Amino acid sequence: MTRILVCYHSRTGTTERMAREIAQGMRESGADVDLLSVEQVDTDALTEYQGIVLGSPTYYGLPSAELKALIDESVKHHGKLEWKVGGAFTSSANPAGGNETTVMAILESLLVHGMIVKGDPRDDHYGPVVIGEADEEDLKRCRDYGRRIAELTQGVEKWISKK
């Protein structure tokens, strides 16, 4: 069974709520998901997942220091996360308030690990974004995203495991 980590940092609860919906979409697609706040993640366990999706509030157009600390610590596994699937999401106060640069910053760090990421031709192109309070449509977008990332992770894993 494909194992995916959805890790979030959340202060007001919006990013956590997004994480729950993403995890829900993944589970509906048959993935085994660990939904953990950034404080709960054991960096030694990162290599056990086939997919890693990271979420943060938008703080100054970038992920929070708390999430960045996890990314910095992951250097101990540098090279071992290659070919895994990654993803990113964020919550923000304003449109054009730094949400895209936050998602892209997280994706850049995953690319440095050699991970595989995927965009979306529909709406939130780089990864799910919620502006202000999450409404029903936002949460549906998160679940849809979870399903697509789970599907990609399962597909990549099937092929990687046969290499």
Give the binding site for its own copies (CB under 8 A).
59-66, 68-69, 71-72, 74-75, 78-79, 81-83, 94-101, 103-105, 107-126, 128-129, 131, 152, 155-156, 158-160, 163
What is the rounded CA–CA span in Å between residue 9 and residue 7? 7
With respect to its own copies, which residue has the nearer C-beta, 42 or 121? 121
Length of the chain: 163
* In the complex, least distance from residue 148 CB atom to its own copies, rounded to whole angstroms: 9
Least Å distance, CB 20 to its own copies, is: 19
C-alpha dihedral sign at 132, 90, 141, 5: negative
Q: How far is the CB of 22 from its own copies (least distance, A)?
A: 15
Cβ 118 to its own copies, closest distance in Å?
Answer: 5
Which is closer to its own copies, CB of 17 or CB of 113? 113
Which residue, among 147, 150, 82, 95, has the nearest Cα to 124 in the 3D structure? 95
Angstrom distance (rounded) from CA 105 to CA 150: 21
Q: In angstroms, give the least distance from the CB of 5 to its own copies.
A: 17
Neighbours of 159 (CB within 10 A): 10
Q: Which one, 48 or 72, has the nearer CB to its own copies? A: 72
**Cα separation, 91 vs 102, whole angstroms:** 9
Rounded to whole angstroms, how far apart are CA atoms 30 and 17? 20
